[in-house]
Amino acid sequence: MGKTPAMPDYRVLPAGDTALVVEFGETIDRKLSALVLALARRLEEVRLDGIVETVPTFRSLMVHYDPLVLSSAALIAGIDELMQDLKVTEQAGRLWRLPTCYDASLAPDLGEVAAWTGLTPAQVIEQHSAVTYHVYMLGFLPGLAYLGDLPAELALPRREVPRPRVAAGSLTIAMTMTCIVPLETPSGWHLIGRSPVPFLQQRPRLAALLAPGDKVKLVPISLREYEDLSAKAAAGTLRIAPVDAAVGAAA
C-alpha cells in the first residue's frame, strides 16, 4: 500500500531491562501486522549497534537489546526516527503451497467442526483450503506459525478438553487462526487434518520453515499422497520451497 500518509499510532513499553515492546494497536489484523513487520525490516536494515533480536507478534514488535551497548533512551529515539518515514507493504514475504491431508483418519475433529458450523466435512475442507493465509507470528513452539485469517464460518472457540498429545504436522483451528504444529504437543485446538511437511528444518541449521509476513496456501492431498510424502520427509528427501505467486507451483 506504499508509504503511509502519516506516522502510525504506536507506543513503546519497557519489557524488563533488556527489551522494549513497540505496540501498534489492540486488534489482530493484517494492517497492524504490516506495521509490525515494516518496523522489524527497518531495524534490520539500519543495524543499530546493540540490538540483539526483534520478535514480531500479532500487534507489536519486541526488540531485545544489550543495555551495555545501547541505552533504552537511544533505542527509543532510533525507533521514533524510523517511524517518521516507515514504508509499509502487505505484500512482503514468501508464498508457500503446502500439501495438507484432511482424511478422516487424520482429522478427528472434522465431523464435529462440520456439525458446529452447519457445514458438511467437504464444505469445511473447501472453505479452509480456499484461503491464502497470512503468517502473523511464530510462537508457543519452535517453528509454530499462527496463520490467519480463517473464514468467519469456521471461527470456533477452543475445545473444552485439550488433547494431551497431538502429532507433529497436525492441522488445527481455533478462534480466527489455523496452525500446523511442528512438534508433538498438547493442544486445545480442533484437529482437522495433517501435513507431511517438516516445519522445523534441520539443515544446514535448525530453523523454522515459515516466517512472519509469509503467505500460505494449503493444498488438499489424498491419504496415499500424504503417506508417500511423509515417507520422503522421514528419509530427508522431501523438498518444499517457496514459490512465486505468478507461478503457483511447489518445488
Residue 174 pLDDT > 90: yes
Percent of the chain scored above 90 by pLDDT?
Answer: 80
Residue 171 pLDDT > 70: yes
125/37 Cα distance (integer angstroms): 30
Given this model, what pLDDT does residue 6 score?
Answer: 63
Mean pLDDT across the stretch 223-240?
95
Spatial CA neighbour of 65 closest among 141, 14, 99: 14
Q: What are the CA-CA distances from residue 180 to residues 59, 79, 209, 230 (Å)?
A: 21, 33, 11, 15
In 24-162 the beta strands, taken as DSSP E runs, fall at 51-56, 60-65, 95-101, 132-138, 145-148
Given this model, what pLDDT does residue 91 score?
Answer: 65
For 59, left (φ over 0), alpha (ψ -120 to 50), or beta? alpha
- Tens digit of each residue's pLDDT (9 = 90 or more) over 185-225: 999 999 999 999 999 876 666 789 999 999 999 999 999 99
Regarding predicted confidence, which is higher, 171 or 205?
171
| 136 Cβ neighbours under 8 A, 6+ residues apart | 28, 33, 56, 57, 58, 146, 147, 148, 177, 212
Residue 239 pLDDT > 70: yes
pLDDT-derived band at 45 (thresholds 50, 70, 90) equals: very high
Mean pLDDT across the stretch 104-127?
97
Task: Give the CA count within 13 Å in the CB-facing half-sphere of 150.
Answer: 20
Residue 76 pLDDT > 50: yes
What structural domains and CATH numbers belong to the chain? 11-83 (3.30.1360.40), 95-235 (2.40.100.10)
Q: What are the CA-CA distances from residue 230 to residues 109, 168, 226 (Å)?
A: 21, 11, 6
